Structure 1
Amino acid sequence: MQHSLQTPRERLVVVGNGMAGIRTLEDLLAKAPGRYDITVFGAEPHPNYNRIMLSPVLAGEKTFDQIVLNGLDWYEANGITLLTGDRVESIDRVQRTVTAMSGRAVAYDKLLIATGSNPFVIPVPGATLPGVVGFRDLADVDAMLEAAARGGRAVVIGGGLLGLEAANGLKVKGMDVTVVHLMDTLMERQLDRSAGTLLQRELERRGIAVLTGADTAEIVGDGRVTGVRLKDGQVLPADLVVMAVGIRPNLALGKAAGLACGRGIQVDDAMVTSDPAILAVGECVEHRGQTYGLVAPLFEMARVAADRLAGGTEAAYTGSVTSTKLKVTGVDVFSAGDFSGGKDCEDITFRDAARGVYKRVVLKGNRILGAVLYGDTRDGGWYFQMLKDGQDVAAIRDTLVFGQGYQGGGAASPGAALAALPDSAEICGCNGVCKGTIVTAITEKGLTSLDEVRAHTKASASCGSCTGQVEQLLALTLGDGYQAQTGPKPMCKCTDRTHDEARRAIAMLELKSIPDVMQALEWTTPDGCASCRPALNYYLMCAWPGEYKDDSRSRFVNERMHANIQKDGTYSVVPRMWGGLTTSAELRAIADVVDKFAIPTVKVTGGQRIDLFGVKKEDLPAVWADLNAAGMVSGHAYAKGLRTVKTCVGSEWCRFGTQDSTALGVKLERLTWGSWTPHKVKLAVSGCPRNCAEATIKDLGVVCVDSGYELHVGGNGGMHVRACDLLVKVDTEEEVLEYTGAFMQLYREEARYLERTAPWLERVGLAYLKQRLVDDPKGRTSLNARFLFSQSFSQDDPWAERASGATDRHEFSLLAEVG
């Protein structure tokens, strides 16, 4: 009998779940899949995300999910053990093990340190006061968003790249913001004085106060920050202070392990430390006396480290020339290289004051030494490539400042300019993707759309500023075979069908299951994905109430568990309070649950309910059982459905109230709750035009007046505030209920999954809603009847009798899966 012995795989441990460490793994898996048994330690409780996109998250332009680079499924698919929220505290180089704060010890054959950097905190009194934050990770963004939600004043210390992005985000979120900068010019490391002045004027035009040449003496506060005192004696009031004065390599782990360290953990050209078994990449390293805080050098280091880990012997990192782009919407700033000028240097400058455009190219020996662009940064990549290549520009010197399109005697098409770039030219700075990588992916993998290029290369998947160039590369590579996408986009990468096409097919072909839809519409994947499955599940449930059985596997985890997952892995539970009303019995039940399950935080929400934070996953079924026993059902705070109906006390108590708004709010909530909708829905009823319940920024709001009720629709009080449009004025509560049911059903039947009522209304138009709901009484009655029919299934459940009130038919069958 013959036996085959399989050689055990080498053990690779990565300390750091950030962009540098995981990019190294991506490159390694492409070069040598299966070579290592890989374990990744991450100090944060998240999968790998794009740290340079935190600014758009702060400004509300991106969600966290949109900046995740590698979801948990990626780690699982590649056999990687991911240990989040567990910081590595020590390295035993003799035994070759690392030990984390949890006490977990993991052995390694090769170790990769990618611990990044720490924000520099200026050593002034008060720097550790509550209310003083850095701007380095998602926890910092969460702290800033929480502060911004309360309003007030923010002081940002530091007028560099991060400081200005933080200032812009906080201003967008409604805070009064002042930037305090020690130097005389903003972003002095990246911009010359002229560009810095233009940038300052633009920020001030946006309402951000800027103080340059200002030195911080003290952060003031008694128990919490209240202001910033400058050395000239001026005190700036502050409810929040953001420290953004720079970063320092996080070398503590390497230093404690006895590795050679200077400003960072020292590495050679192979990214190997003073210990041959340990490599290091990213912001934590020092290479040839230099440290780097921008993404492009990190990815270049990752490429070399991956090659060496894969067994290569020739790849070498020799340093980087860097470029910078400010991520503030509407402000185009780019710089690269050394623009300080000096002996033997010459400047070529272009100014267009009316357009707010400034360009400066610094030459030395007919080669680009540095470039600064403000207001028009389209040629930044071209200048940067020539700078890195050391190209002689003498032949194009006369037209150099006008950009790549003007070379050769006149303006050329953008496509021709892009075609002239070498394959090594970087297209996507956020993810370090060059032209050659994109073109190769298009040709070898048969890619034909922007979404496919994003999925395979990550180009254009972050800030989106390179989207135009990626689309041009598609056109150049495919020629007549490329059709730029117009109109609605496909649901996801699994199909070329749009949301509207899928809904029409479900109705016309009487498709009544997700596999039926995928088969009939020729899905390219067997089981779909996290984008299309929840959408199809909703469309089927809406089309066939009473026939289609909800597929719990196609729901987001928060909907399955009837609880909101929090960043520490616990959950929050929100029982429903009809119209914001509660009783002593309900309050006692909540108090008992809090005590019984040691729930750490209880908060009154903006929707007039009580939120229980910190519930353990294993306790969820028992928590809901106890609340149900007291007659309380799910508040669906997680759901694509009705969240709340906010009310004021109305005519029952308020001397200004014109109608009983509280009672009407309860009726509306009992009418609409439990119904699944394309996105979350919030209602409100204000008892008079003073509008204390904020009815005019809800998906549907009722404002009571002396002569009846005004119905307002399509509002949104979230990231992008939208005031409602007045739909109709009616005389009776019965009419309010009928219009509400008809509006909800029209939204359910015609909006696309994950489309709020505000963008839906803007897409179809108010006139269309009035034609369907106001001008067509029979149609309105029919819509309302269909809504009530659907609700008869959504709220029909044997738990209803035991809970003294209706409940979602899926509530406890889904919760059973949790336990």
Structure 2
Amino acid sequence: MNAPTSFSQKDQPAQARERLVVIGNGMAGCRAVEEILARDPARFDVTIFGAEPRVNYNRIMLSPVLAGEKAFDDIVINDASWYADNGITLVSGDPVVSIDRETQTVVARSGRVEPYDRLLIATGSDPFIIPVPGHDLPGVVTFRDLDDVERMLAASERGGSAVVIGGGLLGLEAAHGLALRGMKVTVVHLMPTLMERQLDEAAGYLLRSELERRGQTIVTGGDTAEILGRDGHVSGVKLKDGREFAADIVVMAVGIRPATGLARAAGLDVERGILVDDHMMTSDPAVMAVGECVQHRGQCYGLVAPLWDMCRALADCVTGNPSGYEGSVTSTKLKVSGIDLFSAGDFSGGEGAEDIVMRDASRGIYKRVIVREDRVVGAVLYGDTGDGSWYFDLLKKGEDISEIREALIFGQAFAAGGALADPNAAVAALSDDAEICGCNGVSKGKVVETIKGGACSLDAVRSQCKASASCGSCTGLVESLLRLTLGGEVEAGPKTMCKCTSFTHSDVRRLIVEKNLRLIPQVMQELGWSTPDGCASCRPALNYYLLCAWPGEYEDDQQSRFVNERMHANIQKDGTYSVVPRMWGGLTNPRELRAIADVVEKYNAPMVKVTGGQRLDIFGIRKEDLPAVWADLNAAGMVSGHAYGKSLRTVKTCVGSEWCRFGTQDSTGLGVKLEQMTWGSWMPHKFKIAVSGCPRNCAEATIKDFGVVCVDSGYELHVGGNGGIKVRATDLLCRVATEAEAMEVCAAFIQLYREQAWYLERTAPWIERVGLEHVKAALFDDPEAVATLAARFRHSQQFMQDDPWAKRARGADAELHQHLAEVRPFQMENA
């Protein structure tokens, strides 16, 4: 158990202020404090008690943490400096266990006693656990805080199956994250429709179909009878109809209940939640309550937007300008890996209600707006949620929609004047109090005020008012407001490397060399990183830049690599891996083919596929078998094809002059030499080479990062091609007469790319950014430039092919050298 911690930095005498104690360091408690500080920063001496040993973070974003899309640092709302800068004492990891209203004190688990003048209870809610046999077995978890996420991550590392009980918003997000982590996931939901509180049957069906298409098993109408166990740990779930589902972990996501235990024990008025008035005052005038733990006008809320409204009303009241909270109309958004859902209001229909429905099966879009007495009372959107804010605004205001009734289902742009209306018109028409960012409760008026106050970029708006800083689904709305407020197109400034720093990629690369920075922590310290350990965007980039700057001196940081690079294999959608051994220039021999066949049979690989780069890809390898698979392949002299790495991937060849009657040069031989020269090299992004034996270009050299087209007079060298989503043909770099010259220019070009491009920038966008003339000048204006760059490439290659990472991806040096010596002679013998 973590020991309780506390810190503060009070610069005013405590006697000058009222003592405000907050029970709960979550989103509601800290937001209430933020609102109070914004109105009267000197009014209270604030102490916050938190049950978790952490600073305040965004619980809404736990799902992206589970899915691997964000790290904990990315979801922190208020870091340690916020508490210190505002003179707040944070007591973390030490929950309050009792309230004494007579002495106006609270007692923490550690025995600490804290007096208060005003007390704010923000204890949130507790997850509901179905009281079935086995519910307390190890391996049964909830999905409520970071500890729960860490338990799920630990389970996913071991692989196997997961059962999620509950097909609501939280349950589906848990299922999605575990599925991405490679687990086989079954969702068991009691009701016949997923997310039945937010979705009608049609939208629920579309959601279920999409989740099943992605590999999840969805069981609706499933009533849990028992959690099964084996050897003291959960092993499965049994339903009342007799069906059983294996489980290495069971996630309970069936609902929440207001956490009222403290308030009830203290004698406050409690029903389902802690009873509060419109100013968030409880039955004791010295005690306030806010968030999921309260009951207001008979309602308890489990969504974030009502919490923000409560916090504003509370802050208005305690700072002497009472406004009052009248309740909230709620909306729900769900965005799980490309599934867009929006729901608001009452979609049950009934007497007097009229449904307006649009279905577009080919695009997977479903829209339903419920109207009663010419007013929107509910909306369900699936697949296209762009007009969700508009429908929600109409609903909250109860506006008469009779004049736009015919165009209502087609969205705001049509209702405002047709499909060709200004794309920003929909946002312009929203009222100032229309909600833009549901995650952080930010209105249109607040965003506009922030922009007018000097926030002239998306990142500036995010940092100052938090709009678009969480899930990002409102980013388009914020960008439209930037254009509307500032006029015309918003001129984007230099893009920073990530949110952890104000420096660009170019700045960081330059300063690493100028300041002689040799370690990631050193870079972060010297360049003033705003996070303690960086993020998933900057750490891999810093690791690459340091490797590139100091070859042979900097030690590769495994912590900064993604799982594919650590495992030397590509993770697939079912959690297994694919292994791609290198085949030099697309050539192979009986020894290699036997080794691959033996691996496929030995490890029951369900599929072997010839890749577009002339190699064999072995699919369906379990994580625990990867070391043995590589050992078997290494024994045959086969090294990794780096199909997972930001490095050389493939060198594609045609048979060239050795076999083809049109071939002008030995393209296969040159391809092998280029691959042997460049394999194992780290680069800003994946890098592909091809060598075509004649201008017919059978190896497709003109859509590769570096392409060689053999001609009668020698070799045409092409650069900057891309055959992916955005196809780009290469630019002609130069012509050379010999193989040796072609290899030397290739090495020089790669080194120039490695030294100048930004991390995750392919050669195509790099050349488009700096210009082909810049590349040619860097290579050819100085007669020694090619030789100098090529020498630097060979120097760095010496260390890259010799570092621990490369050694793990290949066999013993003797076996490797023997294999390289055998590749060409075998082909010649069989000719």
Which of 279, 291, 296 matches 1:287?
296
Deviation at residue 314 of structure 1 after TM alignment: 2.1
Question: Are residues 1:306 and 2:315 paired?
Answer: yes
Residues 713 and 727, structure 1, Cα contact 8 Å, conserved in 2: no
Indicate the residue corresponding to 2:379 in structure 1. 371
Say which SS state the counterpart of residue 120 (structure 2) adopts.
strand
Indicate the residue corresponding to 1:489 in structure 2. 495
Indicate the residue corresponding to 1:499 in structure 2. 505
Indicate the residue corresponding to 1:429 in structure 2. 438
Q: Assess, with a 3 A threshold, how the Cα gap between structure 1 residues 53 and 641 changes in structure 2: closer, same or farther.
A: closer
Indicate the residue corresponding to 2:409 in structure 1. 401
Indicate the residue corresponding to 2:341 in structure 1. 333
Deviation at residue 82 of structure 1 after TM alignment: 1.4
Which of 440, 450, 464 matches 2:458?
450
Q: Assess, with a 3 A threshold, how the Cα gap between structure 1 residues 641 and 492 changes in structure 2: closer, same or farther.
A: closer
Indicate the residue corresponding to 2:634 in structure 1. 704
Q: Assess, with a 3 A threshold, how the Cα gap between structure 1 residues 390 and 127 changes in structure 2: closer, same or farther.
A: same
Output the CA distance in 2 between the equivalents of 1:248 and 1:236. Answer: 27
Say which SS state the counterpart of residue 25 (structure 1) adopts.
helix
Amino acid paired to 2:163: V
Indicate the residue corresponding to 2:107 in structure 1. 99
Which of 715, 726, 729 matches 2:644?
715
Output the CA distance in 2 between the equivalents of 1:210 and 1:751. Answer: 47
Output the CA distance in 1 between the equivalents of 2:288 and 2:560. Answer: 45
Which of 181, 188, 200 matches 2:189?
181
Residues 321 and 388, structure 1, Cα contact 8 Å, conserved in 2: yes
Indicate the residue corresponding to 1:420 in structure 2. 429
Amino acid paired to 1:22: C
Say which SS state the counterpart of residue 241 (structure 1) adopts.
strand
Output the CA distance in 2 between the equivalents of 1:104 and 1:725. Answer: 60
Question: Are residues 1:243 and 2:252 paired?
Answer: yes
Say which SS state the counterpart of residue 424 (structure 2) adopts.
helix
Indicate the residue corresponding to 2:330 in structure 1. 322
State, as a whole percentage, how many aligned pairs show the same letter.
Answer: 53
Deviation at residue 20 of structure 1 after TM alignment: 0.7
Output the CA distance in 1 between the equivalents of 2:335 and 2:500. Answer: 31
Report matched runs for 1:680-691 at 5 Å.
Answer: none
Deviation at residue 451 of structure 1 after TM alignment: 0.5
Indicate the residue corresponding to 1:725 in structure 2. 649
CA deviation map 1:227-249 (0-9, x unaligned): 11111111122221111111000
Amino acid paired to 1:242: V
Q: Assess, with a 3 A threshold, how the Cα gap between structure 1 residues 535 and 193 changes in structure 2: closer, same or farther.
A: closer
Which of 211, 214, 217 matches 1:209?
217
Residues 648 and 682, structure 2, Cα contact 8 Å, conserved in 1: no
Residues 539 and 560, structure 2, Cα contact 8 Å, conserved in 1: no
Q: Assess, with a 3 A threshold, how the Cα gap between structure 1 residues 761 and 23 changes in structure 2: closer, same or farther.
A: farther
Say which SS state the counterpart of residue 354 (structure 2) adopts.
strand
Say which SS state the counterpart of residue 490 (structure 1) adopts.
coil
Output the CA distance in 2 between the equivalents of 1:100 and 1:157. Answer: 34
Say which SS state the counterpart of residue 327 (structure 1) adopts.
strand
Which of 346, 351, 354 matches 1:346?
354
Which of 149, 161, 166 matches 1:153?
161
Output the CA distance in 2 between the equivalents of 1:157 and 1:5. Answer: 51
Question: Are residues 1:37 and 2:41 paired?
Answer: no
Say which SS state the counterpart of residue 44 (structure 1) adopts.
coil
Indicate the residue corresponding to 1:296 in structure 2. 305
Residues 757 and 766, structure 2, Cα contact 8 Å, conserved in 1: no
Amino acid paired to 2:379: A
Question: Are residues 1:70 and 2:78 paired?
Answer: yes
CA deviation map 1:199-249 (0-9, x unaligned): 111111111111111211111113111111111111122221111111000
Aligned-pair RMSD on alpha carbons? 4.6
Structure 2 residue ranges without an equivalent (≥5): 1-11, 519-525, 570-589, 593-620, 653-667, 685-746, 773-777, 780-785, 802-831
Indicate the residue corresponding to 1:131 in structure 2. 139
Output the CA distance in 2 between the equivalents of 1:54 and 1:118. Answer: 16
Indicate the residue corresponding to 2:365 in structure 1. 357
Q: Assess, with a 3 A threshold, how the Cα gap between structure 1 residues 742 and 168 changes in structure 2: closer, same or farther.
A: closer
Output the CA distance in 1 between the equivalents of 2:397 and 2:682. Answer: 61
Output the CA distance in 1 between the equivalents of 2:509 and 2:649. Answer: 27
Output the CA distance in 2 between the equivalents of 1:754 and 1:99. Answer: 57
Q: Assess, with a 3 A threshold, how the Cα gap between structure 1 residues 113 and 781 changes in structure 2: closer, same or farther.
A: same
Output the CA distance in 1 between the equivalents of 2:566 and 2:181. Answer: 23
Indicate the residue corresponding to 1:466 in structure 2. 474
Indicate the residue corresponding to 2:744 in structure 1. none
Q: Assess, with a 3 A threshold, how the Cα gap between structure 1 residues 749 and 117 changes in structure 2: closer, same or farther.
A: farther
Residues 543 and 556, structure 2, Cα contact 8 Å, conserved in 1: no
Question: Are residues 1:266 and 2:195 paired?
Answer: no
Output the CA distance in 1 between the equivalents of 2:362 and 2:21. Answer: 55
Deviation at residue 760 of structure 1 after TM alignment: 7.1
Indicate the residue corresponding to 1:566 in structure 2. none
Output the CA distance in 2 between the equivalents of 1:61 and 1:219. Answer: 30
Output the CA distance in 1 between the equivalents of 2:460 and 2:171. Answer: 34
Q: Assess, with a 3 A threshold, how the Cα gap between structure 1 residues 155 and 71 changes in structure 2: closer, same or farther.
A: same
Q: Assess, with a 3 A threshold, how the Cα gap between structure 1 residues 25 and 740 changes in structure 2: closer, same or farther.
A: farther
Output the CA distance in 2 between the equivalents of 1:295 and 1:376. Answer: 22
The range that moved more, 76-85 or 532-541, is 532-541
Report matched runs for 1:324-723 at 5 Å.
Answer: 324-411=332-419, 412-444=421-453, 446-480=454-488, 482-484=490-492, 489-491=495-497, 498-504=504-510, 529-530=530-531, 694=626, 704=634, 706=636, 710=639, 712-713=641-642, 715=644
Indicate the residue corresponding to 1:196 in structure 2. 204
Say which SS state the counterpart of residue 332 (structure 1) adopts.
strand
Output the CA distance in 2 between the equivalents of 1:386 and 1:755. Answer: 45
Amino acid paired to 1:416: A
CA deviation map 1:468-502 (0-9, x unaligned): 111111010001472146xx722467987521245
Deviation at residue 366 of structure 1 after TM alignment: 0.9
Tell me the TM-score normalised to structure 2 length.
0.68
CA deviation map 1:101-126 (0-9, x unaligned): 12222121111111110111111111
Question: Are residues 1:782 and 2:792 paired?
Answer: yes
Say which SS state the counterpart of residue 297 (structure 1) adopts.
helix
Residues 355 and 368, structure 2, Cα contact 8 Å, conserved in 1: yes
CA deviation map 1:263-300 (0-9, x unaligned): 01111111011111111110001111110000000111
Residues 506 and 543, structure 1, Cα contact 8 Å, conserved in 2: no
Say which SS state the counterpart of residue 414 (structure 1) adopts.
coil
Amino acid paired to 2:367: K
Say which SS state the counterpart of residue 195 (structure 1) adopts.
helix
Q: Highest Rg: 1 or 2?
A: 2
Indicate the residue corresponding to 2:287 in structure 1. 278
Deviation at residue 704 of structure 1 after TM alignment: 3.5
Q: Assess, with a 3 A threshold, how the Cα gap between structure 1 residues 261 and 360 changes in structure 2: closer, same or farther.
A: same
Indicate the residue corresponding to 1:571 in structure 2. none
Deviation at residue 710 of structure 1 after TM alignment: 3.6
Say which SS state the counterpart of residue 288 (structure 2) adopts.
strand
Tell me the TM-score normalised to structure 1 length.
0.69
Output the CA distance in 1 between the equivalents of 2:162 and 2:251. Answer: 8
Indicate the residue corresponding to 2:605 in structure 1. none
Question: Are residues 1:46 and 2:65 paired?
Answer: no
CA deviation map 1:736-755 (0-9, x unaligned): 99978964899999779998
Say which SS state the counterpart of residue 363 (structure 2) adopts.
coil
Q: Assess, with a 3 A threshold, how the Cα gap between structure 1 residues 742 and 356 changes in structure 2: closer, same or farther.
A: closer
Indicate the residue corresponding to 1:662 in structure 2. none
Amino acid paired to 2:137: L
Amino acid paired to 1:489: K
Deviation at residue 403 of structure 1 after TM alignment: 0.7
Output the CA distance in 2 between the equivalents of 1:98 and 1:254. Answer: 12
- Number of equivalences: 639
Residues 678 and 797, structure 2, Cα contact 8 Å, conserved in 1: no
Structure 1 residue ranges without an equivalent (≥5): 515-524, 551-633, 648-655, 659-688, 717-721, 792-819
